[in-house]
Amino acid sequence: MNRLRLAIISTHPIQYYAPVFRALADDPRIELRVFYTMSQVADSPVSDAGFGRDIRWDIPLQEGYDSEFVPNVAHTPGTAHFKGIHNPALIPTIEKWRPGAVLVYGWNHRSHLAALHHFKGRVPVFFRGDSTLLDERPSWRKLARRAVLRWIYSHIDVAIAVGSNNRDYFAWCGVPAERIAFAPHSVDNERFADRSGVHRAHAAQLRSELGLAPWDRVIVFAGKFMPYKDPLLLLESFIRVDADAHLVLVGNGVLESEMRLRAQDYSNIHFLPFQNQSAMPAVYRLGEVFILPSRSETWGLALNEAMASGRPIIAGSKVGAARDLVREGVNGWQFESRNGAHLTSVLRQAIKADRRTLASMGELNAKVIDAWSTPAAALGIADAVTTFACAPSYASVLLS
């Protein structure tokens, strides 16, 4: 069987995408090559402004699939602004490889948008992103945004949605329903499972170092201490709960000094610095419940990781994943983002819940998240690409 040559364009190796790329490379229908556009990180740590540090992930991100970095000649290289990714050699390099289809991750970089424009009508063009309509904007800005996005997405053949909110976004942007495929947003669930008990043991050690007893009720947040994550709202809401429980805040960021100052009089609020990927399965097991209180989050893959670690979850209503992953009172809770009173009420429910109930919720999550796995994501992408790109109707369009 002839394999479809699929070129993927992405900025740099990302811990969430690399497992999917490996799984795609193992699909007998696909011959894969990933073209990375942020060449500055090829042999250097990734500078993460959210954590306020350079990060070199301690898990392999380029093993098991074919990839190459294309030189980025942007005057100010970076992924945070449109002109930070400029690769004049990107299109010629991909064309030389002779792909049968192109999948672009994200359009808001100069070279990525240029690739969408160039390859449309030459080969099938697929798009992957996780944007939603959850952010509130004035009406005039919504109209302007929609006009621009409709033009951008006119350059793709199929959008591959990561979840329900993302699917709604693509439809709002004018992508016909029959041109919206689905491949679930995922993490490497197997890495967060604990079949040997090593993560549980590591978590017990960390709890001991924090002065937490085995019977203490603990809520965990892990992420960037940034305004959009709303860790200050969580901190204030937890203080108002006034219960026999502990809050562990894991990460770093611009709000850290303010958070530590606010928490200084509370012995039941604990801080851990940024933890690399190999430590995260233990971090999620520090507590009985994991919370993501963000006021704006297109998805929130930390929820996937917590569920794969067998923990109930709490999510803000503006977290894109909440719609698909949270079953109210069954595997976790949802609260109205930015609403401290509502969050305080939900925290009370979680803290007062019976331990056996929380354990059952966590066990359920470990099963629910199977549908949002690396194999499921890779299968969704491979099915979408091969079904559409190999369809005779599309071939006739290219030849006409």
User: Nearest-CA neighbor of 379 among 211, 207, 165, 160?
Assistant: 160
Residues 163 and 210 in one domain: no
Residues 98 and 222 in one domain: no
Residues 120 and 247 in one domain: no
Residues 55 and 114 in one domain: yes
Q: What is the pLDDT of residues 139-151, one digit of tens each?
A: 888 889 999 999 9
Here the tokens at position 208 are: 């001991």
Bigger pLDDT: 28 vs 46: 28
Residues 112 and 203 in one domain: no
Residues 284 and 334 in one domain: yes
Residue 53 is predicted with a pLDDT of: 65
Does position 399 have pLDDT exceeding 60, yes or no? no
Does position 254 have pLDDT exceeding 90, yes or no? yes
Residues 156 and 273 in one domain: no
Considering the chain, what is the average pLDDT of its residues? 94
Looking at residue 197, what DSSP letter applies? S
How many distinct structural domains can be found in the chain? Answer: 2
65 lies in which domain range?
Answer: 4-186+373-399
Residue 135 is predicted with a pLDDT of: 86
Q: Give the pLDDT band (50/70/90) at residue 398.
A: very low
Looking at residue 288, what DSSP letter applies? S
- Measured at the CA of 19, the angle between CA 15 and CA 22, to 5 degrees, comes to 135
Backbone angles phi, psi at 231, to 5 degrees: -70, -25
Residues 139 and 242 in one domain: no
**Model confidence, pTM:** 0.94
Q: What is the pLDDT of residues 18-40, one digit of tens each?
A: 999 999 999 999 999 999 999 99
Residues 168 and 58 in one domain: yes
Q: Are 148 and 174 in contact (CB under 8 A)?
A: no
Q: Using CA atoms, how far apart are residues 223 and 51, in angstroms rounded to an integer?
A: 8
Residues 96 and 222 in one domain: no
Residue 397 is predicted with a pLDDT of: 46
Residue 43 is predicted with a pLDDT of: 79
Residues 169 and 225 in one domain: no
Residue 317 belongs to a domain with what CATH number? 3.40.50.2000
Q: Are 217 and 288 in contact (CB under 8 A)?
A: yes
Residues 380 and 345 in one domain: no
